[in-house]
Amino acid sequence: GGKYGGALKFTKKVDPLLLYKVQGNVDYEKEDWSGTMSFWLRLDPDEDLEPGYCDPILLTDKSWDDACFFVDFSKDDVPRKFRGGFFCDKSVWNPKGLPWDEVPEKEHPFMIVDNPPFDHEEWTHVAMTFSNINTGEKNGSIKLYMNGELKSSMEGREQTFTWDTEKAWIKIGYNLIGWFDELAFFDRELSSEEIGELHRRSEDLSSGLGN
């Protein structure tokens, strides 16, 4: 079963299984955008996943490297790394239009977690917060939390994120084999204390945050 009730169970590699429109589900702002994405996963990535990349969730109106944020499992590492990707407009993060393999690693818009805390029997909480998006300044802040702990962050970059919300999608379950539950989006950057509360809470979010 799920973290608090039912859950999504993915049993084979698919591309992708579920699609939801961003419009009506994510509060996108063209200026000074902030928010939080929260969900739970249960799997052993090194035992369960088939070869290739796995993106449990991805949001974009274009492609993975252009105005897109997601989490994924790397494909070649043993053990697999867990990564939070926050790729703003490609013209901003990759203004020279370089092929991916030629972009210096320090410029990759990734937050990487080595030896992430995943397990067959235990649910793992994942949260990504973002703030100062679409300010036109190098003050963007993105943070990746796991089980209530800050694992990685990306600070001090310009994060211009241009979406046509009528064409943007939430894609769930790309090549995922495992359980996915309790997806929630918030219209502000939650604090570390609030992320901890999400991890510790004993019921679903229908009762609201802070209850």
Instruction: Let me know if residue 207 belongs to a domain.
Output: no
Q: What tokens appear for 104 in the block?
A: 């210096």
Contact 123, 148 (CB under 8 A): no
Domain residues for 97? 10-200
Instruction: Let me know if residue 206 belongs to a domain.
Output: no
Kindly tell me if the per-residue pLDDT of 148 is higher than 80: yes
Between vectors from CA 178 to CA 40 and to CA 127, what angle results, nearest 5°?
Answer: 20
Instruction: Let me know if residue 33 belongs to a domain.
Output: yes
Segment 24-38 shows an average pLDDT of 97
Per-residue pLDDT tens for 63-88?
A: 999 999 999 999 988 899 999 999 99
Per-residue pLDDT tens for 128-143?
A: 999 999 999 999 999 9
Total domains present in the chain: 1
Kindly tell me if the per-residue pLDDT of 169 is higher than 60: yes
For the sheet with 140-146, list strands across it.
8-10, 178-186, 33-42, 124-133, 140-146, 149-157
- Percent of residues, the chain, with pLDDT higher than 90: 85
pLDDT bin (cut points 50, 70, 90) of residue 118 is: very high
pLDDT for position 8: 93
Q: Could you tell me which residue, 205 or 189, shows the higher pLDDT? A: 189
Contact 71, 83 (CB under 8 A): yes
Instruction: Let me know if residue 208 belongs to a domain.
Output: no
Q: Supply the pTM of this predicted model.
A: 0.93
Rg (C-alpha) for the chain, rounded Å, is 16
Per-residue pLDDT tens for 191-209?
A: 999 999 999 987 777 655 5
Q: How far apart are CA 127 and CA 201, in angstroms?
A: 14
Kindly tell me if the per-residue pLDDT of 211 is higher than 50: no
Instruction: Let me know if residue 191 belongs to a domain.
Output: yes
Instruction: Let me know if residue 98 belongs to a domain.
Output: yes
Those residues whose C-beta lies under 8 Å from the C-beta of residue 205, and which sit 6 or more positions away, are 182, 184
Instruction: Let me know if residue 30 belongs to a domain.
Output: yes
Amino acid at 167: K
- The CATH number of the domain where 165 resides is what? 2.60.120.200
Instruction: Let me know if residue 89 belongs to a domain.
Output: yes
